[in-house]
């Protein structure tokens, strides 16, 4: 809400303007008033109004002198001159010092409100332009990955940065570079050298972008003209370049790869998948280091599990083949001493983590891995025999086959429930992703990912569209004022609602309502 201050030496005018406008309803805060410029100056510096309304002819310090000082000290404050002197010189002087509007007394309250809204709209537009200009490529890409910017805002910001953002498909790759006990890698120069090697080796195709998320973490947003083209590039990264770079680079270099998405908002989904893939890969590498350390032990260290074979059965195996496959697959664990050695635990943990990564990539499950990993690792710790090991492998297969079965379902029932919940509660100005997640009994991050992935837009964008569509209906079917409709559809700030409505529909609420009126009533007031 914009703050407004009034300066006029006529007390009757000050009282009329103060009392004849419903400031809060119109989306403004009336700070107060003063009888002349000299008295007003300290009040202006204290309150810092967004809009200053001032008379010209006043004692001690007139309106033009006051306006010149305010323009110098508070350049963002917009000034409206009120004067009973219809003289060209006054208007020319006012325009020269940067006054926003110049109008003659007496002014009707309706005209003043209209003028205030016009100035307020200009302030909002300038602020949006300033925000777009303040965008850097790194901030834009970070907001896209974080799901913090709508498609329209992202395209506008990219245009101001002269970036070609639009593509057919997108995917995100993350790389985390840490020292892992290597003192040389703590040096920023070593990290920068590692980044250059990665950029040169694999992640700098024409038209793709990269940005730093922290001192040791970097993200790449890849784009392609087709799903097949980008998918092939991702597969080369996964199978050829990542193993080579992890061997060549110093320190601990861990990658995460998200899926290929066909919408700009899908960058957020791909980023969340890349984060989870990176976390699973880190746990896998840590587990394999422990396996390597334990492999010099005495009991059961010759045991081996073929992860690639298990992954293949995970994708194409049938329930009727499960028992015979697991019996043959786990035969090499018969000699493991489950009571005195931790080797079998780390072997199964390694298989579990790798299988989760493969299932996430293949079946695109949005289910949180943390809870599943904790549950499965707890089960592994309880294994005391090869028979219990086989039962655990059956549990692992059944759990991941459940993801396989759900892969074609795409969480349709959950998304339908969330959309129905939004339709029922859009009028609640406190409605949030957290509320919807609690309604369908999943975590907010899980719902954010699934909703974006399945509906093609973030939760907040769908909520906004629902509210605007309902406001359009109310504008055409009721006589409610715009501010009343704003409250009904979940916006406490009527001015914010008006700006948002215009941004989405291209029309003010008044113009939209008139458009649906009969021709003989289209010129009537709102």
Name, of 53-57, 124-128, 367-371, 420-424, the range with top average pLDDT. 420-424
Is residue 6 located within the same domain as residue 83?
yes
Query: Is the model more confident about 448 or about 453?
Result: 448
What percent of the chain has pLDDT above 90? 12
**If you average pLDDT over each of 339-343, 422-426, 458-462, 517-521, which comes out highest?**
422-426
Last residue of a domain, which of 115, 133, 151? 133
pLDDT at 92 (0 to 100): 63
**101 and 148 part of one domain:** no
Number of neighbours of residue 13 by Cβ within 10 angstroms: 18
Instruction: Write the secondary structure of 193-242 as one string of H (helix), E (strand) and C (coil).
Output: HHHHHHHHHCCCCCCCEEEECCCCEEEEEEEECCHHHHHHHHHHHHHHHH
Q: Which residue has the higher pLDDT, 68 or 456?
A: 68
Instruction: Look at residue 111 in the predicted model and tell me its pLDDT.
Output: 86
The per-residue pLDDT for range 62-71, each reduced to its tens digit, is: 888 888 898 8
Identify whether 346 is part of a domain.
Answer: yes
Does position 85 have pLDDT exceeding 90, yes or no?
Answer: no
Is residue 508 domain-shared with residue 453, that is, in the same domain?
Answer: yes
Q: Mark whether 358 and 441 lie in a shared domain.
A: no
Same domain, 335 and 379: yes
User: Side by side, which strands form the sheet with 209-212?
Assistant: 209-212, 217-224, 169-178, 252-257
Which is more confidently placed, 249 or 373?
Answer: 373
Give the range of the structural domain holding residue 496, as residue numbers without chain letter: 412-521
CATH number at residue 434: 1.10.10.60
User: What pTM does this model have?
Assistant: 0.49
The verdict on residue 284 lying in a domain is no
| Residue 330 included in any domain | yes
Give yes or no: residues 141 and 271 share one domain: yes
User: H or E element: which one contains 53?
Assistant: strand 51-55
Structure-token pair, residue 65: 């002198």
Residue-wise pLDDT for 284-337, tens only, equals 777 666 655 655 544 444 556 787 888 888 888 888 888 899 888 888 787 777
97 and 160 in one domain?
no
Quick check: 497 and 471 in contact, CB under 8 A? yes
Mean pLDDT of 173-187: 64
Per-residue pLDDT reduced to its tens digit, 96-145? 666 777 777 778 888 888 889 988 888 888 877 766 667 788 889 988 99
- Whether 496 and 514 map to the same domain: the answer is yes
| Residue where a domain terminates, one of 275, 307, 323 | 275
Mean pLDDT of the chain: 81
Which of 275, 306, 327 is at the close of a domain?
A: 275
142/256 same-domain check: yes
How far apart are the C-alpha atoms of 431 and 451, rounded to whole Å?
Answer: 16
Residues 14 and 122 in one domain: yes
- The answer to whether position 195 is within a domain reads yes
Number of domains present in the structure of the chain: 4
Same-domain check for residues 82 and 116: yes
> Average pLDDT in the 161-169 region?
87
CATH of the domain at 197: 3.30.70
Per-residue pLDDT tens over the stretch 251-282: 678 888 888 888 888 898 899 888 888 888 88
**Per-residue model confidence (pLDDT) at position 71:** 86
Residues 271 and 153 occupy one common structural domain: yes
pLDDT at 516: 66
E strand or H helix that includes residue 254: strand 252-257
pLDDT at 156 over 60: yes
Q: Is residue 282 in some structural domain? A: no
333 domain-assigned: yes
pLDDT tier, 418 (very low <50, low <70, confident <90, very high otherwise): very high
The CATH number covering residue 28 comes to: 3.40.50.2300
> Is position 318 within any domain?
yes
Distance between CA atoms of residues 88 and 94, nearest Å: 10
Q: How many CA atoms lie within 13 A of 196 on its CB side?
A: 6
Q: pLDDT value at position 526?
A: 41
**Does some domain include residue 283?**
no
What count of other Cβ atoms lies within 10 Å of the Cβ of residue 5? 23
**How many Å is the Cα radius of gyration of the chain?**
32
């Amino acid at each position: 809400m914009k703050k407004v201050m009034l300066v006029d030496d006529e007390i009757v005018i000050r009282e009329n303007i103060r009392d004849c406008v419903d400031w809060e309803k119109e989306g403004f805060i009336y700070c107060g008033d003063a009888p002349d410029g000299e008295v007003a100056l300290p009040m202006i510096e204290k309150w810092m109004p967004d809009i200053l309304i001032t008379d010209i002819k006043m004692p001690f310090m007139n309106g033009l002198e006051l306006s010149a000082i305010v323009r110098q000290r508070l350049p963002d404050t917009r000034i409206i001159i009120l004067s009973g002197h219809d003289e060209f010189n006054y208007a020319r002087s006012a325009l020269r010092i940067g006054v926003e509007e110049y109008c003659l007394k007496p002014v009707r309250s309706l005209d003043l409100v209209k003028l205030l809204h016009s100035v307020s709209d200009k302030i909002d537009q300038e602020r949006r332009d300033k925000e777009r200009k303040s965008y850097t490529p790194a901030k834009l890409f970070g907001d896209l990955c974080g799901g913090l910017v709508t498609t329209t805002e992202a395209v506008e910001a990219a245009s101001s940065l002269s970036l070609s953002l639009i593509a057919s498909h997108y995917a995100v790759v993350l790389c985390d570079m840490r020292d892992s006990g290597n003192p040389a890698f703590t040096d920023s120069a070593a990290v920068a050298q590692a980044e250059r090697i990665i950029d040169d080796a694999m992640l700098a195709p024409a038209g793709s972008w990269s940005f730093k998320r922290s001192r040791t973490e970097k993200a790449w947003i890849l784009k392609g003209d087709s799903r097949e083209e980008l998918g092939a590039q991702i597969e080369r990264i996964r199978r050829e370049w990542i193993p080579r770079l992890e061997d060549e680079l110093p320190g601990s270099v861990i990658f995460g790869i998200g899926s290929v998405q066909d919408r700009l908002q899908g960058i957020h989904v791909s980023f969340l998948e890349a984060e989870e893939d990176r976390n699973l890969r880190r746990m896998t590498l840590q587990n394999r280091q422990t396996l390597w350390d334990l492999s010099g032990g005495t009991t059961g260290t010759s045991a081996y599990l073929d992860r690639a074979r298990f992954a293949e059965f995970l994708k194409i195996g049938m329930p009727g083949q499960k028992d015979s496959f697991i019996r043959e697959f786990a035969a090499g664990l018969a000699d493991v001493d489950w009571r005195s050695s931790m080797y079998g635990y780390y072997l199964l943990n390694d298989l579990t983590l790798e299988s989760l990564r493969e299932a996430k990539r293949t079946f695109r499950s949005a289910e949180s891995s943390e809870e599943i990993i904790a549950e499965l690792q707890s089960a592994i710790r309880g294994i005391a025999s090869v028979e219990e090991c086989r039962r655990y492998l059956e549990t692992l297969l059944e759990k991941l086959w459940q993801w396989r079965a759900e892969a074609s379902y795409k969480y349709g029932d959950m998304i339908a429930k969330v959309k129905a919940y939004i339709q029922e509660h859009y009028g609640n100005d406190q409605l949030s992703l957290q509320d919807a997640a609690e309604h369908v009994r999943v975590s907010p991050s899980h719902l954010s990912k699934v909703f974006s992935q399945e509906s093609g837009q973030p939760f907040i964008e769908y909520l906004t569209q629902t509210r605007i569509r309902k406001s359009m209906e109310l504008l055409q079917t009721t006589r409610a004022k715009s501010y009343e409709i704003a409250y009904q559809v979940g916006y406490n700030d009527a001015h914010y609602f008006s700006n948002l409505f215009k941004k989405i529909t291209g029309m003010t609420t008044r113009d939209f309502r008139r458009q649906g009126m009969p021709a003989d009533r289209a010129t009537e007031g709102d």
